[in-house]
Amino acid sequence: GAGVSQSPRYKVAKRGQDVALRCDPISGHVSLFWYQQALGQGPEFLTYFQNEAQLDKSGLPSDRFFAERPEGSVSTLKIQRTQQEDSAVYLCASQRVRSTGELFFGEGSRLTVL
């Protein structure tokens, strides 16, 4: 595609519900990142994929967070039993080549947990 696409753009969940956020990266991009951004702060790293392999998940805040990229293209970030502190914007970025390539971001998914 022309750019990184994320859906849904906005999600309101009741505390305890499960949510799934989708990222469709730029076609052919090898690397895919998920970031969490709180209001007024810079993005915080969650996890990284190279093709279908999840090479780094050190930023996932708890075992309620799970990400996958089964065919090396579309990725899904799943949050189980959502809590109020999970409210944030979740940003997806893709990169054509490892390490030195430019990062391209989607518009983000804004999650509000009530």
Partner 1 sequence: KQEVTQIPAALSVPEGENLVLNCSFTDSAIYNLQWFRQDPGKGLTSLLLIQSSQREQTSGRLNASLDKSSGRSTLYIAASQPGDSATYLCAVGSLDYGQNFVFGPGTRLSVLP
Query: DSSP label at 85?
Result: G
- Rounded least distance, CB 48 to partner 1, Å: 5
User: Whose Cβ is closer to partner 1: residue 18's or residue 38's?
Assistant: 38
Nearest-angstrom CA–CA distance, 46 and 31 = 14
In the structure encoding, which two tokens stand for residue 52, read together? 């279908």
The interface with partner 1 within residues 26-65 (CB under 8 A) comprises: 31, 33, 35, 40-45, 48, 50, 55-56, 58-59
- Rounded least distance, CB 37 to partner 1, Å: 9
What is the CB-side half-sphere exposure of residue 58 using CA atoms within 13 A?
2
Q: Which amino acid is at 62?
A: S
Nearest-angstrom CA–CA distance, 34 and 15 = 22
Locus of tokens 């994929």? 49
For partner 1 (CB under 8 A), the number of binding residues is 30
User: Whose Cβ is closer to partner 1: residue 14's or residue 99's?
Assistant: 99
User: Where along the sequence are the contacts to partner 1 (CB under 8 A)?
Assistant: 4, 6, 31, 33, 35, 40-45, 48, 50, 55-56, 58-59, 91, 93, 98-100, 102-108, 110
